[in-house]
């Protein structure tokens, strides 16, 4: 007989949420937490495998926040005999508030395509909240899209190997540790983090979390995580605040808008084409760019070699020159003239 704990550990976040929604939609009088823990796949096996009630409560609080982030109406009703005691609070999702609008209709051909697209993108966290809510509604009301198309669903994989274990840690409320490399330092350093959100920004995935050793929130680029992401034994993380992911994205967008660089590009070059597309201002061969991470931009600009001359800011000039010197040294060539980068 398979290990039930292992089986339940493999229940994806989206599936557990769907099962929770289905149970809450089907009930009219509402369900207690104990009912949900006993019935819903994703909770049931963990409870049976000896996971503490406290851990299940934390998982449920995170799931409630996720449902509300998706705009799913979750109603609660306290017991008149046990006011304020969460053990006797009943939960339900009003069916009439969750149904698709009467004006929305899909053909038999459209439904499998919608679910195929959702299956493809949900695996990398790329579905927006409205899209995830719509797909969950379709599934909750019996639209599973049984179609040969689903057998050919493409898979879009996140390049960073840290993504999956970090997503699992977020799902379970688990603190993690990993080695993190910052360019310009001697090597990767250990970070111990309470994950708050995984967000995509400018085509790169970031982890936002609270650094346990610095007692401050930090944002980490997944591509700089070295080696294995490990759960910290016996260390749980508090539930993420409601809307944490969107708040992190907004801060990253604001940081990007506040920082700019000016570079000169060689006419007709690949750099002129690619950087020109991202420019917020251009004057002939001068291109002005917004950026979020100076070190990431320095790596990119150094990769264009002589097609780019960095003008400002000075810190970016220095970083690009450092990278070019490393390349020149590795190939036994003379180092570039720092003034030439300006």
Cα separations in angstroms, 139 against 22, 98, 125, 315? 9, 12, 18, 51
Query: So what's the pLDDT on residue 171?
Result: 81
Q: Indicate the CATH number for domain 1-98.
A: 1.10.10
Query: So what's the pLDDT on residue 293?
Result: 93
Spatial separation of the C-alpha atoms in residues 67 and 30, rounded to whole Å: 16
Pinpoint the residues of the chain covered by CATH 1.10.10.
Answer: 1-98
Pinpoint the residues of the chain covered by CATH 2.30.30.
Answer: 163-247
Residue indicated by tokens 């459209």: 110
Q: Considering the domain delimited by 163-247, tell me its CATH architecture.
A: Roll (2.30)
User: From first to last of its 342 residues, what are the pLDDT tens digits of the chain?
Assistant: 444 444 444 566 777 887 888 888 888 889 999 999 888 888 887 766 677 888 888 888 888 877 777 777 888 888 888 877 888 899 998 877 666 666 666 565 665 555 555 555 555 454 455 555 555 555 555 545 444 434 444 444 555 789 889 988 888 889 999 999 987 778 899 999 999 999 988 888 999 999 999 999 999 999 999 999 999 988 888 888 878 888 999 999 999 999 999 999 999 899 999 999 899 999 999 999 999 999 999 999 999 999 999 999 999 999 999 988 888 887 766 555 555 555
Q: What is the dihedral of CA 335, 336, 338, 339, to 10 degrees?
A: 140
Query: So what's the pLDDT on residue 188?
Result: 92
Rounded to 5°, the CA angle 257-292-318 comes to 115
Query: So what's the pLDDT on residue 200?
Result: 87
């Amino acid at each position: 007989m398979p290990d039930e704990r292992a089986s339940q550990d493999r229940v994806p976040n989206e599936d557990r949420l769907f099962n929770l929604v289905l149970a809450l939609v089907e009930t009219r009088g509402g369900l207690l937490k104990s009912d949900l823990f006993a019935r819903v796949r994703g909770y049931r096996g963990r409870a049976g495998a000896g996971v503490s009630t406290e851990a299940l409560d934390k998982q449920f609080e995170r799931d409630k926040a996720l449902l509300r982030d998706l705009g799913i109406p979750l109603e609660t009703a306290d017991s008149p005999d046990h006011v304020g005691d969460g053990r006797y609070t009943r939960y339900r999702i009003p069916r009439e508030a969750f149904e698709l609008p009467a004006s929305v209709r899909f053909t038999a051909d459209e439904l499998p395509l919608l679910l195929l697209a959702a299956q493809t993108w949900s695996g990398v966290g790329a579905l927006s909240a409205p899209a995830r809510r719509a797909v969950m509604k379709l599934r909750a009301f019996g639209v599973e899209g049984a179609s040969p198309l689903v057998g050919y669903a493409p898979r879009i994989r996140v390049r960073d190997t840290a993504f999956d274990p970090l997503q699992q840690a977020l799902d379970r409320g688990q603190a993690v540790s990993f080695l993190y490399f910052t360019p310009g330092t001697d090597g990767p350093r250990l970070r111990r983090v309470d994950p708050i959100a995984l967000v995509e920004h400018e085509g790169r995935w970031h982890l936002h979390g609270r650094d346990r050793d610095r007692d401050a929130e930090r944002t980490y680029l997944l591509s700089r995580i070295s080696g294995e992401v490990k759960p910290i034994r016996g260390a749980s993380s508090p539930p993420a605040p409601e809307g944490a992911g969107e708040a992190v994205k907004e801060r990253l967008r604001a940081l990007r808008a506040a920082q700019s660089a000016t570079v000169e590009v060689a006419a007709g070059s690949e750099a002129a084409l690619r950087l020109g597309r991202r420019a917020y201002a251009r004057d002939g061969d001068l291109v002005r760019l917004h950026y979020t991470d100076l070190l990431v931009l320095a790596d990119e600009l150094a990769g264009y070699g002589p097609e780019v001359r960095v003008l400002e800011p000075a810190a970016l000039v220095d970083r690009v020159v450092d990278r070019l010197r490393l390349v020149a040294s590795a190939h036994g060539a003379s180092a570039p003239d720092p003034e030439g980068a300006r």
